[in-house]
Amino acid sequence: MSADKVAEITDQNFESSVLKSSQPVLVDFWAPWCGPCKAIGPAVDALAEAYAGKLTVGKCNVDENPEIPNSYGIRAIPTVMVFKDGRVFDQMTGMVNRSKLETAVQKALEGGAPTSPFVVQ
């Protein structure tokens, strides 16, 4: 549907695409063999479509790009992280629905307080 609006996030482009982005970035950490990852894919794609121009949406294949997930302590997938101003703003792991993802995105866009209990720098 909107795969053209979803960026491929890699170990090589993570800093430039995510940490240095001028707008919030939602990153879906996934793997091709992960059933729940495939299940939330359409919700991630829909957010890319709905927030085009306001939010960058990307997917990071953890099998092909192990450095970034390891550096953020990701041990389970799917994990969706929202980054803002180079920091983790929110993080959700497991089968989450679109409304939960969208709530995190809206908080990031509106300047709400981060919900993550930790900050990785």
pLDDT tens for 33-90 read 999 999 999 999 999 999 999 999 999 999 999 999 999 999 999 999 999 999 999 9
- Count of the separate structural domains present in the chain: 1
Distances (CA, A) of 79 to 22, 37, 110: 22, 8, 22
Three-state secondary-structure class, residue 24: coil
CA 27 – CA 36 distance, rounded (Å): 15
pTM assigned to the model:
0.90
Q: Is residue 93 in some structural domain?
A: yes
User: For residue 117, what pLDDT is reported?
Assistant: 52
pLDDT over 90 (residue 115): no
Q: Is residue 118 in some structural domain?
A: no
Q: Give the domain extent around 16.
A: 3-110
Q: Is residue 117 in some structural domain?
A: no
User: For residue 3, what pLDDT is reported?
Assistant: 54
User: For residue 121, what pLDDT is reported?
Assistant: 38
Q: What is the pLDDT of residues 87-112, one digit of tens each?
A: 999 999 999 999 999 999 999 999 87
User: For residue 10, what pLDDT is reported?
Assistant: 97
Residues labelled as active-site residues: 34, 37
Amino acid at residue number 75: R
For position 58, which CATH number holds?
A: 3.40.30.10
CB contact at 8 A, 63 and 95: no
User: For residue 116, what pLDDT is reported?
Assistant: 53
Q: Is residue 90 in some structural domain?
A: yes
Helices (H), the chain: 14, 35-50, 67-71, 98-110
Q: Taking the CB of residue 110, how many other CB atoms lie within 10 A of it?
A: 7
Q: Is residue 35 in some structural domain?
A: yes
| Average pLDDT over all residues of the chain | 91
Q: What is the pLDDT of residues 3-31, one digit of tens each?
A: 578 999 999 999 999 999 999 999 999 99
Amino acid at residue number 71: S
